[in-house]
Structure 1
Amino acid sequence: MEQFLSNATLGHLLASARRAKRLTQAEAGARIGLSQSRLSVLETDPSSLTVEQLLALTGLYELRIKVLDRAGPPAAAEW
């Protein structure tokens, strides 16, 4: 089953993960080098989120990113 995150869903996921770790925006931002206001923007509208920021946030929140090829897995090789 394919799942894609919308910007709104990603923002909600990041905010929920932060709260689950009992971190304020200021605390989480300080740990990865972002201001509280920048983290607030990213949680509200993550369309400007960089890959570096996404990796930092998912690492901090202990989330996992899964990237799949839309074409599906490669065909099994015949021996």
Structure 2
Amino acid sequence: MQLGQILRSARRAKKLSQAQAAARVRLSQSRLSALELDPASITTEQLLALLGLYELDLTVQSRATAALSSATEW
């Protein structure tokens, strides 16, 4: 799952509309929509605000560890 999909799924799980979520993190609804479709331009501040709102954790790991993890999930 890609970042935009994760953000959209988390927002829906919290039962928030784009307008409601955007207002809580001081974004426009159109900006949140754009980020869910293509998060390439998301800022660190926006990402952290959305993660906090949706109660998500950010995990950073080496690519080698990530490759092993995804290989063992199947």
Same fold (TM over 0.5): yes
Q: Identity of counterpart residues, as a percentage?
A: 65
Which residue in the other structure is 2:47 paired with?
54
Residue 67 (structure 1) shift:
1.2
TM-score of the pair, normalised by structure 2: 0.81
Residue 28 (structure 1) shift:
0.2
Which residue in the other structure is 1:66 paired with?
59
Which one has the largest radius of gyration?
A: 1
Which residue in the other structure is 1:44 paired with?
37
State the secondary structure of the residue aligned to 1:12: helix
Which residue in the other structure is 1:15 paired with?
8
Q: Paired residues, what number?
A: 65
Point out 4+ residue stretches in structure 1 off by more than 3 angstroms: 69-72
RMSD of aligned Cα (Å): 1.4
Q: Deviations over 1:28-60 (max 9, x none)?
A: 000000000000000000000001000000000
Alignment gaps of 5+ in structure 1? 73-79
State the secondary structure of the residue aligned to 1:33: coil
Alignment gaps of 5+ in structure 2? 66-74
TM-score of the pair, normalised by structure 1: 0.76
Residue 68 (structure 1) shift:
2.2
More helix by share: 2
State the secondary structure of the residue aligned to 2:32: helix
